[in-house]
Amino acid sequence: MGSHEAKAQAFYGAVIHSLSTPGHDLEILPAALLIVEAQGVITAFHKDVKPGEVGSLIDTATTTLHYLSPSQFIIPGFIDTHNHAPQWAQRGLGQGQHILDWLSAITFPNEGRFRDPSHAQRIYSSAIDGFLRQGITTASYYGSIHPEATNILADLCLAKGQRAFVGKCNMTRNSPDYYRDASVEQSLRDTESCITHIRKIDPEGKLLKHVLTPRFAISCDAECLAGLGQIAAKNPDLPIQTHFNEAEQEITATRELFPQFSSEADLYDHYGLLTKRSILAHCCYMAPHEFDKLKELQCGVAHCPISNMTVGGGFMAAPIREFLNRGIKVGLGTDSGGGFSSSMLDAIRQAMIASHAREVESKGRDNGLKIAEAFYLATLGGAEVCCLEDKVGNFEGGKEFDALVVDWQRDGVMTIVEEEDELGTVFEKFVMTGDDRNIVRVLVKGMVVREVKI
99 confidence band (pLDDT: 50, 70, 90): confident
In this prediction, residues 42-70 reach a mean pLDDT of 96
In this prediction, residues 368-385 reach a mean pLDDT of 97
Tell me the CB-side half-sphere exposure of residue 125, using CA atoms within 13 A: 7
pLDDT digits (tens, 9 = 90+) for 163-213: 999 999 999 999 999 999 999 999 999 999 999 999 999 999 999 999 999
Residue 152 confidence (pLDDT): 98
pTM of the predicted model as reported, rounded to 2 decimal places:
0.97
Residue 390 in this model has a pLDDT that exceeds 70:
yes
> Which residue segments constitute the domains of the chain, with CATH numbers given?
6-74+393-449 (2.30.40.10), 77-384 (3.20.20.140)
Residue 2 confidence (pLDDT): 41
Residue 1 confidence (pLDDT): 35
By mean pLDDT, which of 25-39, 119-133, 284-298, 300-314 is the weakest?
Answer: 300-314
84 confidence band (pLDDT: 50, 70, 90): very high
pLDDT digits (tens, 9 = 90+) for 104-159: 999 999 999 999 999 999 999 999 999 999 999 999 999 999 999 999 999 999 99
Q: Is 434 left (phi over 0), alpha (psi -120 to 50) or beta?
A: beta
Residue 23 in this model has a pLDDT that exceeds 80:
no
Rounded CA-CA distance 232/254 in Å is 22
**Percent of the chain, pLDDT > 90?**
89
The 3-class SS string of the chain reads: CCHHHCCEEEEEEEEEEECCCCCCCEEEEEEEEEEECCCCEEEEEECCCCHHHHHHHCCCCCEEEEECCCCEEEEECEEEEEEEHHHHHHCCCCCCCEHHHHHHHHHHHHHHHHHCHHHHHHHHHHHHHHHHHCCEEEEEEECCCCHHHHHHHHHHHHHHCCEEEEECEECCCCCCHHHCCCCHHHHHHHHHHHHHHHHHHCCCCCCEEECEEECCHHHCCHHHHHHHHHHHHHCCCCCEEEEECCCHHHHHHHHHHCCCCCCHHHHHHHCCCCCCCEEEEECCCCCHHHHHHHHHHCCEEEECHHHHCCCECCCCCCCHHHHHHCCCEEEECCCHHHCCCCCHHHHHHHHHHHHHHHHHHCCCCCCCCCHHHHHHHHCHHHHHHCCCCCCCCCCCCCCECCEEEEECCCCCCCCCCCCCCCHHHHHHHHHHHCCHHHEEEEEECCEEEEECCC
Rounded CA-CA distance 311/247 in Å is 10
Residue 392 in this model has a pLDDT that exceeds 90:
yes
By mean pLDDT, which of 331-340, 380-389, 435-444 is the weakest?
Answer: 331-340
Beta carbons of 404 and 412 less than 8 angstroms apart = no
3 confidence band (pLDDT: 50, 70, 90): very low
Residue 90 confidence (pLDDT): 94
